[in-house]
Chains A and B, each alone.
Chain A
Amino acid sequence: MPDPLQTLEPIPGPALKNEMMLPAVLDPWAGHALFEAAHLAQKIAGSKVWLVSLAPKAKLQQVMMTVAQKVPFELVALDGPSSGFTDSFETAAALAGAIEGIAGLDRSRLLLFGGWESASRGAGSTLQMVGERLGIVEQFQGVDQIAVREDGSFEILERIEGGKHQVSVCAAPPAVLGWATGNLPEPRNNPQVGMVNMRAVMPSLQRSKPAPIGNAGLTFVSVSLPKQQRETRVVKNVPAEEIAREIVAWIGEE
């Protein structure tokens, strides 16, 4: 997705102004999911992480230059739009199709990780549809933690209202986990991991199939930037006690 630290401006389509010129990054929540997956795979013998990603090939290559240095994975690339304006239904179809095509993937043991939302569309609806297409009905969203037990079951913490977590135990895979932030910091760059990953990344990018995502039946009536500029009253050189009195009075106003 376009780096969220950039200025983002919509144009008719809708699309982002100069979208292909904007630097691309791995979606933050997808990043958390990837790091949690790699952390888990490291602990469970025989596990492997595939990173299935849908984006314009050139942007994907750019993103891989940094992400590939973080954790070991095998890239499955789909050459298609990564715009926030693409619909989740067709995106899910493309992703599910790519997962079905992974040779050597034991789907009965699959833990499908992803970000619970994207920072572009922010819908939180794609993973559920991917899961449904793959026949997985053990699904969890807003996940912050997974703990695998000795019997192969796993305990999951999902975000719910009021800053709490719901605790569930899933007896066995397959399952879908949409990650919130999790608990892991971003791994440091590891050039050795990067070199191993990149050997497979480049061929994967070359093999990537076009995945055009239409928005059938969807019409954007308008897309606009918010006009929320406020007239800020700046209060300075005023004693803290006086400011405190003003704040307390303001808090008490109905």
Chain B
Amino acid sequence: MDSILLLVHTEADGTLAKAALEGLTAALALGGDLSIGLVGASVQPGADQIASAGAKRILAVVGDEFSQSRYSTDAAAAEALCRASGATLVLAPATPRWARTLPGVAYRLGGRVDTHVTALAEQNGTAAVTRWFYRQRMEAVLTRTSRPWVVLLDGGVVPAWSGAAGTAAVEPVVVEAPATRTTVTGTRSPEAGEQTIRPDAKLLFVAGAGWTKKQADGAVHSADAEKLILGFLHATNASLGGSKSLVDLSGEGEAVLRFMTHMNQIGQTGATPRHPKGLSTCCHGEEPHAVGWRFIGERRAINLDPNCGWARGKADVLYVADAFEVMGQVNRLLQG
């Protein structure tokens, strides 16, 4: 049986985010000796948050130089924690910070790495991970003999751990911050100023290129489409996804949906977000595009084409109707 290190970074206030607590759930489910490694400017609030989880050791690399998400400093901290723990299996949530860093750390440790893992279980006394290949087109279960094995767990695949807080004893691991030429200066929101990507939303709203095509009156109604979509997002707090054809139009500077960027793209070359429900509108396409909502629970679609490949066999309900009309009525009901 593997000895496990759960590697998590703290937030600005020293606490642990949902992704870290999901990692803890997965680590505990594996059994085996569990150590937890924390990285951040302050870690005691996070350690206290999980004090009752039953970890054998809680190790930490602490310091202002480890507060920011940066490859060189994160790699030094993670490498030190892995070595200090002696773990054979290193589990971490697939945050952008760890996704950037931990493959390089696996190399430093002489180990191997698997990312975008969606399930982790023990099979015949050894750990086995499930992940998708060819952009969610096929699913594989795999095992490795190489150790340490670094595993990055996708968000939303297990529930977040919830248990009593307490006072945790934290073992400091001293790391000299490496010299770096990189300065993190902040974060930036999309230029349009409209935050439309909400990973924790209960509903994903998917807009297709049909919103930008000529309508029954022979004219394009992009402004109306913008108003309808934003009105719906504001009323429901849904997250917005876009088909490739739609975000490509936006990227080419055409007067389409101004808030739509490549960051919104879902599908074969976009994201595959996880939400309990999804509503697609004006989307078309076959399997390569439909993978964008592989991990959506309940799915409904509005499309004028009753044979739409996006919806047939992929959605639970297909409304054969004009999305402009339906979404106008939906917004009226939501605002009423």
A-side residues, CB < 8 A to B, are 2, 4-5, 7-10, 14, 16, 28-29, 84-85, 87-89, 92, 119-126, 128-129, 131-133, 137-142, 144, 155, 157-172, 178, 180-181, 183, 185, 216-226, 228-238, 240-241, 243-245, 247-248, 250-251
Establish whether residues A232 and B138, one from each chain, have CB atoms under 8 Å apart when the complex forms: no
- Additional 17 contacts, C-beta under 8 A, given A167-B188, A169-B182, A247-B330: A137-B71, A138-B71, A139-B100, A140-B71, A141-B99, A155-B185, A158-B100, A163-B264, A164-B188, A164-B189, A171-B183, A220-B141, A224-B138, A232-B314, A236-B320, A243-B321, A247-B300
Q: Which of A14, A141, A178, A247 has the most CB of B within 10 A?
A: A247
Docked CA distance A132–B101 (Å): 11
* A-chain residues with CB within 8 Å of residue B322 when the two chains form the complex: 240
Q: Which of A89, A124, A180, A251 has the most CB of B within 10 A?
A: A251
Docked CA distance A231–B145 (Å): 41
Establish whether residues B189 and A139, one from each chain, have CB atoms under 8 Å apart when the complex forms: no
* A-chain residues with CB within 8 Å of residue B69 when the two chains form the complex: 160, 166
* In the complex, B317 has a CB within 8 A of chain A: yes
- Closest beta carbon of chain B to A213's beta carbon, Å: 13
User: With contacts A119-B268, A139-B100, A251-B203 known, is A8 near B138, CB below 8 A?
Assistant: yes
- Option from B262, B329, B333 in Cβ contact (under 8 Å) with A144: B262
Question: For residue A227, which residue of chain B has the nearest CB?
Answer: B139
* A-chain residues with CB within 8 Å of residue B112 when the two chains form the complex: 87, 89, 217-218
Establish whether residues A226 and B294, one from each chain, have CB atoms under 8 Å apart when the complex forms: yes
Interface-located stretch among B57-65, B102-110, B164-172: B102-110
Q: Would you list 15 pairs from A and B whose C-beta atoms are within 8 A, ordered by A residue? A: A14-B140, A29-B269, A119-B268, A129-B106, A161-B96, A163-B190, A163-B196, A169-B183, A181-B262, A183-B251, A219-B143, A226-B136, A228-B314, A232-B313, A250-B300
* In the complex, B258 has a CB within 8 A of chain A: no
**A-B contacts at CB below 8 angstroms, number:** 276
Docked CA distance A224–B107 (Å): 29
Docked CA distance A170–B327 (Å): 46
Docked CA distance A166–B95 (Å): 13
Establish whether residues B107 and A133, one from each chain, have CB atoms under 8 Å apart when the complex forms: yes
Establish whether residues B182 and A244, one from each chain, have CB atoms under 8 Å apart when the complex forms: no
Docked CA distance A29–B97 (Å): 20
Establish whether residues B329 and A243, one from each chain, have CB atoms under 8 Å apart when the complex forms: yes
* B-chain residues with CB within 8 Å of residue A142 when the two chains form the complex: 96, 100
Establish whether residues B132 and A122, one from each chain, have CB atoms under 8 Å apart when the complex forms: yes
Establish whether residues B279 and A92, one from each chain, have CB atoms under 8 Å apart when the complex forms: no
* A-chain residues with CB within 8 Å of residue B326 when the two chains form the complex: 240, 243-244, 247
Docked CA distance A218–B72 (Å): 28
* B-chain residues with CB within 8 Å of residue A139 when the two chains form the complex: 71-72, 100-101, 104
Interface-located stretch among B1-9, B35-43, B44-52, B113-121: B113-121
Docked CA distance A4–B285 (Å): 13
* In the complex, B319 has a CB within 8 A of chain A: yes
Establish whether residues B318 and A235, one from each chain, have CB atoms under 8 Å apart when the complex forms: yes
* A-chain residues with CB within 8 Å of residue B143 when the two chains form the complex: 218-219, 221
* B-chain residues with CB within 8 Å of residue A170 when the two chains form the complex: 181-183
Docked CA distance A228–B312 (Å): 11
- Option from A157, A159, A218 in Cβ contact (under 8 Å) with B142: A218
Question: For residue B302, which residue of chain A has the nearest CB?
Answer: A243
* A-chain residues with CB within 8 Å of residue B99 when the two chains form the complex: 124, 141
DSSP class of A's interface residues: helix, strand, loop or mixed? mixed
* B-chain residues with CB within 8 Å of residue A226 when the two chains form the complex: 136, 138-139, 294
- Closest beta carbon of chain B to A209's beta carbon, Å: 22
Establish whether residues A244 and B315, one from each chain, have CB atoms under 8 Å apart when the complex forms: no
DSSP class of B's interface residues: helix, strand, loop or mixed? mixed
Question: For residue A218, which residue of chain B has the nearest CB?
Answer: B144
Establish whether residues B196 and A132, one from each chain, have CB atoms under 8 Å apart when the complex forms: no
- Option from B187, B195, B264, B319 in Cβ contact (under 8 Å) with A235: B319
* In the complex, B236 has a CB within 8 A of chain A: yes
Question: For residue A129, which residue of chain B has the nearest CB?
Answer: B107
* A-chain residues with CB within 8 Å of residue B186 when the two chains form the complex: 166-167
Establish whether residues B182 and A138, one from each chain, have CB atoms under 8 Å apart when the complex forms: yes
In B116-161, the 8 Å CB interface with A consists of 116, 123, 128, 132-146
Encoded as 1 (CB less than 8 Å from any A CB) or 0, chain B from 66 to 104 comes to 000111100100000000000000000001110111011
Establish whether residues A137 and B317, one from each chain, have CB atoms under 8 Å apart when the complex forms: no
Establish whether residues A119 and B135, one from each chain, have CB atoms under 8 Å apart when the complex forms: yes
* In the complex, B210 has a CB within 8 A of chain A: no
* In the complex, B265 has a CB within 8 A of chain A: yes
Question: For residue B332, which residue of chain A has the nearest CB?
Answer: A244
* In the complex, B252 has a CB within 8 A of chain A: yes
Docked CA distance A228–B263 (Å): 26
User: With contacts A14-B140, A141-B100 known, is A125 near B317, CB below 8 A?
Assistant: no
- Closest beta carbon of chain A to B107's beta carbon, Å: 4
Docked CA distance A131–B105 (Å): 11
- Closest beta carbon of chain B to A123's beta carbon, Å: 5
Establish whether residues A89 and B107, one from each chain, have CB atoms under 8 Å apart when the complex forms: yes
